[in-house]
Amino acid sequence: MSVDFQELRELLSAISKTDITELTLKSDDFELTLRKDSAAYPAKNANVIEQEMFSAAPVVTKTATNLEPTAIATEPTASSPIDQSKLLDVTSPMVGTFYHAPAPDDPPFVAIGDRISSGQTVCIIEAMKLMNELESEVSGQIVEILAKNGEPVEFGQVLMRVDPG
């Protein structure tokens, strides 16, 4: 199935003017999920959304069944078990490339076990040759870093998990 990007732009424009927060379109060969979190992101007009969504190469993710999720090894951070239901996600606000440090030879912004506070820079997302520092909206301890340095990330992808305790 081919994607008509003009129709997709019109859909994004229409959704941006509503209270719809999530929309999933599925067919036999692909799945497209659109999400917006009105509490986390300021309202944007349709032109800004279109510019952000289509300024880089569009990404259509094909999904397949019977795939096992890949686990990323993490170091234990404490002797007490962590309640997974209490963890908060740090997600990517855009499509781009994830970088864990300000420069290749610099130490990472955060590591597993580090305590972070709201407003602290936790990584960089490069989009269209612009380096966007991502500041945490939560405070706590980093328990997982799911994104790999230099790898592409999607809008809304979980980059890190934080234990607020």
What pLDDT digit, counting tens, does each position of 45-79 carry? 444 444 444 444 444 433 333 333 333 444 444 44
* 1 has pLDDT over 60: no
* 31 has pLDDT over 90: no
Domain 84-163 has CATH 2.40.50.100: yes
Torsion of CA 107, 152, 140, 22, to 10 degrees: 170
| % of residues, the chain, pLDDT over 90 | 42
pLDDT tens, position by position, 115-129: 999 999 999 999 998
For residue 60 the two structure tokens come to: 């259509």
In the chain, domain spans: 5-54, 84-163
Average pLDDT for the chain: 74
More confident position, 63 or 154:
154
More confident position, 129 or 28:
129
More confident position, 163 or 12:
163
Beta bridge partners of 145: 160
* 162 has pLDDT over 70: yes
- Cα separation, 139 vs 165, whole angstroms: 9
* 114 has pLDDT over 80: yes
How large is the average pLDDT for residues 74-94? 70
- Nearest CA to 61 out of 26, 16, 23 is that of 26
